Structure 1
Amino acid sequence: MENTDINSALSQDRPFYLTILFLVMKLGFFLYDIVTYIPFKIFANPAEKLEKSQRVKAEPVKKGDCTSPWKNVKSKEGLAKSPFDGIEDLGSNWDECVRRYSDHACMGTREVLKVHKEKQKNGKVFEKWEMGNYHWRSFQAVDKRVNLLASGLEELGQKEKSPVVIFADTREEWMTTALACFKMNYPVATVYATLGEEAVCYAINQVEAETIFTSESLMSKVKKAISNGAKVKNVIYFDSVDPESKGESVECDEPFTLLSFEQLLSKGSTKSIKPKAKKDDIAMIMYTSGTTGNPKGVLLSHQNIVAATAGQGACITLTTEDRYIGYLPLAHILEVCAEMVVFSKGVRIGYSSAQTLFDRAPKIKKGEHGDCFALKPTLMACVPAVMDRIFKAVVDEVNANNKFFRELFKVCYERKRSRYEDGYSSIILNKLIFQRIGKLLGGNIRQILSGGAPLSPETQRFMNICFCCPVVQGYGLTETCGGGTLADFNDLSTGTVGPPLTCCEILLEEWKEAGYSPKNDPPQGEILIGGPNVAIGYYKNDEKTKEDFVMRNGKRYFATGDVGEFRADGSLKIIDRKKDLLKLSHGEYISLGKVETNLLTNPLVDNVCVYGDSDKSYLVALVVANQKNVSSLAESNGAGDKDFEEMCKDEKVVEAVQKELASYASSKLEKAEIPKKIFLCAEPWTPASGLLTEALKLKRKNIEKAFRKELDELYK
């Protein structure tokens, strides 16, 4: 992160006496460097760190021929297919985990002691939770429940290879159910818990499942789907987490069998069940969150998921002492693969949610602690939208302090950044300054994985420095079972998603129209991913399968639609997106995703959708305003006495935000890439409103439709 980036995020008023004080501090740092130069050379060896960071991680199969596929240097003997020798299905993979880690803690759920319901002035009711400790089950105890569940489903009449739908939030019961289905060869059809009624009906009807697992809170959507023709025979629900409302929403006189999760367990047998699936059987029908139209069901075989687990697990060093916090949607491939990897390493999973993750999370009662405080995880996975929120929360926290602390933070931040990029540690600064910030994530985080969308280099470096641990990006899609690339934890650079995983290879394909070619320097092109992790295709959609899954030189690849370039060390950088590329009237191509990624790090912005009309010469943007920071800006522009919705309509406020964003982006974007006009949105965008996917990506068509009038006004 450059100095201008941190300065643009933090307040910049510096009295003269502080300028003198911090010049003295910098002189002190210089003298410290001289004194510690030899000890660092001997004990920390920064040169060795830089060498590890810059080493070659992947290269073309045909040496020197960048038009040939690229492989990880560890894949010369062949692509990885399994974390355990000879195991190719998920049921056997789980059995091996149980055999190895039998008595170790496996899954943990935090007790909800009481739910307080606070009614707001506008009539909305907000829940605030009081929470207790995590309660743990060992691998052996979880396996007992897996066998009970598997035999219980068989008792209900579930047939082998018949799909089972899981429509619920991430929780221990979700994964326990999936493991039972994997053993019995029941394909798991995943449906996001935040999908609207129409999309839920579509997915349930398409898979024609007779059994569905859901949560008490989602029962109304399930009943609606059944009333619209879904032929569901068995509905199993997970109890409400609120101890005072269990069973309130499950009364039913419908013509289907209704059971609680515990009731289904009581129907089963503890006898160990031998896995029934073969490697090519369908393990999951994973419905993508869908940026346009109805969600697509991606067919993932047992081999696909096992291979992806092997590829991702080879990049991460973990022990049975580690703790992973599971809060991302299990209906998303990122969370499924992350949990499969940590199971294979004997790591415990503490379940959480975005609503209870931190002390200041929406459902945590004031004065109570979030799940990170209780669990103290050492590993977590994030999507960029969550990371951007953490970035802004830290900046807000720093700005809320006095001038001295703000300036101290800036000086220490820049000091650590420069040292980090040169391969040095900053033990004293970590203890004095950054350890306090690290407590936001529990204080024990060693590794943070980012995936699901591009993470801006500024946010990545900020997280790197403030949380005192590697923050690495990965790249993959549902169609590649989350497998594609993962950055090396020794890589000190930012902006890349790392080399190909050991389970796959990447081919760059020429895109003449935009000037991308593997023969360029550096090599560029559309990213095609091949290997045992590549999905079978789309469920009941042969046309789309033929379009996206292609043959090249006798090998099968998935054509991602993303454009990448390989660095000299074999790390991949995502530089464009075919569908996000817009040609303006002056003939210049603009990457909308690139513009949005850069603007998202500004403290005034909670979300942004950049729009362009090909007949016009400039871009416009819909900006979801950060209430706290935009209100502060409005006050300095004489509009602080208005309510937030009125503030966002005030011409002076809009103009001030526009100028701030233009100034902020000027060092990162070309002039044609900076939106010329903006519209401020007071209401946040959510999956429930239909404007974001469940992975928090923009639904461009829905946003354009919802704000058609405002976009037209911006171009007048």
Structure 2
Amino acid sequence: MATITGENPNMSILQRLTTSDLPLVKEYGLPGVIGALLLAIVIPIFLSSMFSKKVKKRAVQVDVGGEAGLAMRNSRFSSLIQVPWEGATTMAALFEMASKKYTQHRCLGTRKLISSEFIEAADGRKFEKLHLGEYQWNSYAEAFKRACNFASGLIKMGHQLDSRAAIFSDTRAEWIIAAQGCFRQNLTVVTIYASLGEDALVHSLNETQVSTLICDSKQLKKLPAVSSKLQSLKHVIYIEDEPVEADTLNQLKHLTTLSFNAVEELGKTSHADARLPSSTDTAVIMYTSGSTGLPKVHFCLKIFFFLVYSFFISMKIKACYDFWMHESTTEYSMSQLVEGVMITHGNMVATIAAVRTIIPNLGTSDVYLAYLPLAHVFELAAESVMLASGVAIGYGSALTMTDASNKIKKGTKGDVSVLKPTLMISVPAILDRIRDAVFKKVEVSILDCHFMCCYLIQSILAICMGKTVLTPTKFGAGQT
């Protein structure tokens, strides 16, 4: 074993190593050993820095004001994005300006119902099948006029300006017209899922102190059973998408009930001046879904702004999110505070402005398929963007979307086939249905595909061997 010969305790470590009997030191000397160690460490580090993949720098330090932390900005904009264009500070102002900008262009379209029938399955269950025709359209000018008439009719039928209106209906053109009518009178719209059960419906209407309910014929049938529990409801406006039974209306005699068309006619003959909102006024109180029990409601900072934050971060438009958060700091008294998501006009137009910067080429040549629930912020935001961009909005449903959809009568066309949309938004469950519809069509033609593949292979082989090639006819018959 090698030993160190020096016994002087005052010797330094280098001196001891120099005088040691270690083989490496004796053979190469202390400088050689140190040099080898340095090379063994430095060279791998140097080579690693040269050939390793460079990581893209995800952020730069910059003073953006406020508290220190990570922030994302769209580099194309130096200031807050608050409105789509000058003057469009509220939903009412935006729709009015859009109606003047895109006057004669298609705005809201609904398919005409040709027939409806019920088919009984082998297990005894009955399924409704619809034969739907072409889309019938309102222009932007016509849609705006309808909204103005509805706004006037709403006031003339007795709705108080300091109370709220709720929309309890599936996604349809009347939903948007009713909402825009309410905005023109600075009425807060409470959005309620059409799938809500009776208890959830009562809770939503009572908590928000709704005095006017706008619903479709199917939802109208739910009211007689719960009308005695509704504390503030005074007026009901129903959309006549299907016949309404007289018995249903008789059970609601203690309320003022009018059809949607009747309210429009009332406003057409009895005009009421618009009472336009400001950007800080609450436009919508939104409840999330829940088919049974109480709806899943939370204050806006817990749900809505989380969704908005996620959207803006993904789209890299933090400036708009800053504006949303600034708007959301408005303080409400305890009498005004409700559990639904409270969204101001400024919030809504800021979202519209943000999305238009991400998809800048939206225009009158585009067609949008609307089918998701307008009671959800996703669909409401999307349709608002389309209205600001002059896009034609055609209404459909998840059950009538494709030719193979459950409610489409066999041999007739689904919404997509008729509308031919250039735009649509979706969720995973709907994408699964679209995929299944595509696979069904592929399965029908799989025999033809198999035959054509075999024919092509045989043709190539025949040509190589100098033989005659047969011309294919359907399902394998051939001729020379």
The TM-score bracket by the shorter chain reads 0.5 to 0.7
Q: TM-score, normalised by structure 2?
A: 0.67
1:251 aligns with 2:249: yes
Tell me the residue number matched to 2:413.
369
Instruction: Report how far residue 346 of structure 1 moved.
Output: 0.8
Tell me the residue number matched to 1:351.
395
Q: Structure 1, residues 595-614: CA drift from partner, whole Å, max 9, x if none?
A: xxxxxxxxxxxxxxxxxxxx
1:116 aligns with 2:117: yes
The change in CA–CA distance for 1:112 and 1:59 in structure 2 (over 3 A counts) is: farther
Instruction: Report how far residue 400 of structure 1 moved.
Output: 5.0
Say which SS state the counterpart of residue 258 (structure 1) adopts: strand
Instruction: Report how far residue 274 of structure 1 moved.
Output: 4.0
For 2:247 and 2:350, locate their aligned partners in 1 and report how far apart those are by CA, in whole Å. 40
Tell me the residue number matched to 1:280.
280
Instruction: Report how far residue 227 of structure 1 moved.
Output: 2.3
The change in CA–CA distance for 1:184 and 1:368 in structure 2 (over 3 A counts) is: same
Say which SS state the counterpart of residue 380 (structure 1) adopts: coil
The change in CA–CA distance for 1:135 and 1:247 in structure 2 (over 3 A counts) is: farther
Tell me the residue number matched to 1:314.
357
Whether the 8 Å CA contact 2:87–2:93 is kept in 1: the answer is: no
1:268 aligns with 2:312: no
For 1:57 and 1:164, locate their aligned partners in 2 and report how far apart those are by CA, in whole Å. 50
For 1:138 and 1:322, locate their aligned partners in 2 and report how far apart those are by CA, in whole Å. 14
Instruction: Report how far residue 362 of structure 1 moved.
Output: 1.0
State the one-letter code of the partner of 1:165. Answer: A
State the one-letter code of the partner of 1:176. Answer: I
Whether the 8 Å CA contact 2:168–2:213 is kept in 1: the answer is: yes
The change in CA–CA distance for 1:226 and 1:408 in structure 2 (over 3 A counts) is: farther
The change in CA–CA distance for 1:176 and 1:408 in structure 2 (over 3 A counts) is: farther
Instruction: Report how far residue 91 of structure 1 moved.
Output: 0.6
Whether the 8 Å CA contact 1:325–1:351 is kept in 2: the answer is: yes
Q: TM-score, normalised by structure 1?
A: 0.46
The change in CA–CA distance for 1:233 and 1:406 in structure 2 (over 3 A counts) is: farther
Instruction: Report how far residue 159 of structure 1 moved.
Output: 2.5
Tell me the residue number matched to 2:404.
360
Q: Structure 1, residues 541-573: CA drift from partner, whole Å, max 9, x if none?
A: xxxxxxxxxxxxxxxxxxxxxxxxxxxxxxxxx
Instruction: Report how far residue 207 of structure 1 moved.
Output: 0.8
User: How does 1:202-601 map onto structure 2 within 5 Å?
Assistant: 202-241=203-242, 245=243, 247=245, 250-254=248-252, 255-269=254-268, 273-289=273-289, 294-296=295-297, 297-316=340-359, 317-402=361-446, 405=449
Instruction: Report how far residue 246 of structure 1 moved.
Output: 5.0
Tell me the residue number matched to 1:93.
94
For 1:149 and 1:61, locate their aligned partners in 2 and report how far apart those are by CA, in whole Å. 52
Whether the 8 Å CA contact 1:240–1:247 is kept in 2: the answer is: no
For 2:372 and 2:353, locate their aligned partners in 1 and report how far apart those are by CA, in whole Å. 21
For 1:78 and 1:408, locate their aligned partners in 2 and report how far apart those are by CA, in whole Å. 60
Say which SS state the counterpart of residue 73 (structure 1) adopts: coil
For 1:350 and 1:57, locate their aligned partners in 2 and report how far apart those are by CA, in whole Å. 44
The change in CA–CA distance for 1:295 and 1:264 in structure 2 (over 3 A counts) is: same
State the one-letter code of the partner of 2:434. Answer: I
Which of 39, 52, 74 does residue 76 from structure 2 map onto?
74
Give percent identity, aligned residues only: 35
Higher RCO (CA 8 Å, separation ≥ 6 residues): 2
Tell me the residue number matched to 2:469.
none
For 1:189 and 1:85, locate their aligned partners in 2 and report how far apart those are by CA, in whole Å. 28
Say which SS state the counterpart of residue 381 (structure 1) adopts: coil
Instruction: Report how far residue 86 of structure 1 moved.
Output: 3.1
Whether the 8 Å CA contact 1:61–1:69 is kept in 2: the answer is: no
Say which SS state the counterpart of residue 300 (structure 1) adopts: strand
Instruction: Report how far residue 205 of structure 1 moved.
Output: 1.3
Q: Structure 1, residues 496-555: CA drift from partner, whole Å, max 9, x if none?
A: xxxxxxxxxxxxxxxxxxxxxxxxxxxxxxxxxxxxxxxxxxxxxxxxxxxxxxxxxxxx
The change in CA–CA distance for 1:313 and 1:247 in structure 2 (over 3 A counts) is: farther
For 2:387 and 2:450, locate their aligned partners in 1 and report how far apart those are by CA, in whole Å. 42
Say which SS state the counterpart of residue 114 (structure 1) adopts: strand
Q: Structure 1, residues 610-635: CA drift from partner, whole Å, max 9, x if none?
A: xxxxxxxxxxxxxxxxxxxxxxxxxx
State the one-letter code of the partner of 1:261. Answer: F
Whether the 8 Å CA contact 1:60–1:66 is kept in 2: the answer is: no
Q: Give the paired residue count.
A: 350
Whether the 8 Å CA contact 1:323–1:377 is kept in 2: the answer is: yes
For 1:106 and 1:329, locate their aligned partners in 2 and report how far apart those are by CA, in whole Å. 19
Q: Structure 1, residues 209-231: CA drift from partner, whole Å, max 9, x if none?
A: 11000111111222333222343
User: How does 1:179-194 map onto structure 2 within 5 Å?
Assistant: 179-194=180-195
The change in CA–CA distance for 1:62 and 1:110 in structure 2 (over 3 A counts) is: same
Who wins on radius of gyration, i.e. which is larger? Answer: 2
Say which SS state the counterpart of residue 405 (structure 2) adopts: coil
The change in CA–CA distance for 1:168 and 1:124 in structure 2 (over 3 A counts) is: same
Q: Structure 1, residues 48-87: CA drift from partner, whole Å, max 9, x if none?
A: xxxxxxxx99956738999421122233x12211111132
The change in CA–CA distance for 1:248 and 1:379 in structure 2 (over 3 A counts) is: farther
User: How does 1:666-681 map onto structure 2 within 5 Å?
Assistant: none
State the one-letter code of the partner of 1:262. Answer: N
State the one-letter code of the partner of 1:225. Answer: V
Instruction: Report how far residue 355 of structure 1 moved.
Output: 1.4
Residue ranges of structure 2 left out of the alignment (5+ in a row): 1-55, 298-339, 454-480
Say which SS state the counterpart of residue 72 (structure 1) adopts: coil
Whether the 8 Å CA contact 1:322–1:347 is kept in 2: the answer is: yes
For 1:369 and 1:109, locate their aligned partners in 2 and report how far apart those are by CA, in whole Å. 14
For 1:150 and 1:205, locate their aligned partners in 2 and report how far apart those are by CA, in whole Å. 23
For 1:144 and 1:60, locate their aligned partners in 2 and report how far apart those are by CA, in whole Å. 50
> For the aligned residues, what is the CA RMSD?
2.9
Instruction: Report how far residue 138 of structure 1 moved.
Output: 0.9
State the one-letter code of the partner of 1:269. Answer: K
Instruction: Report how far residue 265 of structure 1 moved.
Output: 1.1
Instruction: Report how far residue 351 of structure 1 moved.
Output: 0.8
For 2:390 and 2:174, locate their aligned partners in 1 and report how far apart those are by CA, in whole Å. 19
Q: Structure 1, residues 456-495: CA drift from partner, whole Å, max 9, x if none?
A: xxxxxxxxxxxxxxxxxxxxxxxxxxxxxxxxxxxxxxxx
For 1:73 and 1:59, locate their aligned partners in 2 and report how far apart those are by CA, in whole Å. 12
State the one-letter code of the partner of 2:351. Answer: A
